[in-house]
Amino acid sequence: MQNCKTKIMGVLNANEDSFFKNSRFDNSQASFLIEKMIEDGANIIDIGAVSSKPGSIAVDENIELSRIKDIVDTIYQNKYYEKVDFSIDSYTPKVLDYVLNKGFKIVNDITGLQNDEVCKIAASYDAKVVIMHMQNNPKNMQNNPSYTNVIFEINDYFSKQIEKAKSFGIHDIVLDVGIGFGKNLEHNLTLIKKLNYFSLFGYELLIGASRKSMINMIVPSVVEDRLPGTIAIHLESIRNGASIIRCHDVKEHFQAIKVFEAINNIN
């Protein structure tokens, strides 16, 4: 088991098309939901304004910023960033520059630092960066994804993107294998079971499988009924080296992780 303290990254979506409707919110609810997440045990709150579910299409960065601006201002005015770390689920320079100037500390980039401008902005704010692996893009990533060896190919990708990050002066790095992003069920299960392989890089590993369709492929279930499967995946991921768990259900994960840790701390 890894030595990093497990952190819970709660998910809030400032867009109307996120796949789990209970994670959607607007500025009128922002304070209540953020305070509840902090109370429930979140260490990080990840806020996004663009859906990355399979088949989704990117939006203009001005639209993305307009969706998130008031919420970010609320976070800054209330100094919530002093209570919990805020992460931005985005890869658009304009949005990143705005939020990193308003107390956000983490860039959660599903494109894994493809854009040099993102690298420059993250480095200029000394932000922590989550490098995620995705095959293709959200619009087509689930069109028969294939790998010769999913572990080796993602390993090579991480090696390359870590070097790129360092070349821009980014050193605070988290790795995310990207469950469900250009992977079929077997790929996802393999990555969870062999996650510890990626600990060799020496960076924290993030897993986000919250309510994803892989659970439905194992036990047919609608999004609202996938919390048990989510917790099973996330606890196994912690066993295999993950130390940041990205989830919609903070309170339930807090309890599950505390019980899991209590069992594993017994000699």
Q: What is the pLDDT of residue 19?
A: 45
Could you report how far apart the first and last alpha carbons of the chain are, in Å?
13
Backbone angles phi, psi at 152, to 5 degrees: -65, -40
Mean pLDDT computed over every residue of the chain: 92
- Count of beta carbons in the 10 Å neighbourhood of residue 60: 11
Residue 178's identity, in one-letter code, is G
Which residue in 6, 93, 76 sits closest to 43, CA to CA? 6
pLDDT tens track for 14-38? 866 544 455 556 677 888 899 999 9
How does residue 2 score in pLDDT terms, banded at 50, 70 and 90?
very low
Please tell me the distance from the alpha carbon of residue 36 to that of residue 27, in angstroms, as a whole number.
15
3-state helix, strand, coil in the chain (%, to 5): 45, 15, 40
Identify whether 211 is a catalytic site residue: no
Q: What is the pLDDT of residue 21?
A: 55
pTM higher than 0.85, yes or no? yes
pLDDT beyond 70 at 3 = no
From the list 36, 246, 251, 258, the catalytic residue is: 246
Q: Is 7 helix (H, G, I), strand (E, B) or coil?
A: strand
pLDDT tens track for 233-243? 999 999 999 99
pLDDT tens track for 126-173? 999 999 999 877 677 678 888 999 999 999 999 999 999 999 999 999
How does residue 223 score in pLDDT terms, banded at 50, 70 and 90?
very high
Delineate the domains of the chain, giving CATH numbers in brackets: 7-260 (3.20.20.20)
From the list 7, 128, 183, 212, the catalytic residue is: 212
Identify whether 226 is a catalytic site residue: no
pLDDT tens track for 49-76? 887 777 667 789 999 999 999 999 999 9
Which residue in 130, 25, 50, 138 sits closest to 87, CA to CA? 130
Please tell me the distance from the alpha carbon of residue 258 to that of residue 228, in angstroms, as a whole number.
16
